[in-house]
Amino acid sequence: MSAVAEERLVRQRELALSYRIFAALRWGDLGDGHITARDPEQHDCFWVLRYSVPFERATIDELILVGPDGTIVDGHGPLNTTAYHIHWPIHEARPDVVAAAHTHTHWGTPFSAERRLLQPITQEACAFHDDHALFDDEEVQVLSTDGGKRIAAALGAKRAVILANHGLLTTGAAVGEAVGAFVMMERVCEGLLKAPTARPISGTSARRARDGLGLPGAFADSFEFLVARHVPDPGAVG
């Protein structure tokens, strides 16, 4: 097996595991949400789960490869077109992004309705200090790549973006990194909503804490813990 094929298999496996993690956390029960992984050879294409497959049944065989025009290059659909509208412009704008994760969650989605950035009120919140953005836009139903391009512009060079009245989106240089960041960001939103009068620490202290957390490696480590905790049989993904 070539190095490219091996890397593709790594990304596909982590992608299938990521969907199963989301399912274990009771996210995506209505088919809402998507995680994508750039192909290591066809850099303008990304892998995503077929729309008709429940997250808890994600396997490598159920992934499809989507081209830059939204057509299916490998595998069989259907494709969640919103995944293409949101994710493809991000992959296009950010060559460093291997993976992007988005779904509707218990805390991230209601927090997004407040249309504000995360405050550093906890150690975990410090991980996103100066490294996330707000997409403050009325288009909550992203109907074209024009909306996705505006999301990518709002994201800029940062790790994550809060989609106003919609939810969270995180990115990473690996699938596990993006998903580990997403789960942590959801936890941060929970803390902010549960402690509305919390007193934030200073920006200086928040940056020091962020740098001391060992990111982005910590997000990748979190992914491994999530797999061990929530996926009883990781080999079942293929």
Beta bridge partners, 71, equal none
Beta bridge partners, 80, equal none
Q: What is the pLDDT of residues 190-204, one digit of tens each?
A: 999 999 999 999 999
* Domain layout of the chain by residue ranges: 3-229
Q: What is the pLDDT of residues 51-99, one digit of tens each?
A: 999 999 999 999 999 999 999 999 998 999 999 999 999 999 999 999 9
Dihedral-angle region of residue 144 (phi above 0 means left; psi in -120 to 50 means alpha; beta otherwise): beta
Task: Give the span between the Cα atoms of 212 and 215, in whole angstroms.
Answer: 8
- pTM, 2 dp: 0.97
CATH number for the region 3-229 comes to 3.40.225.10
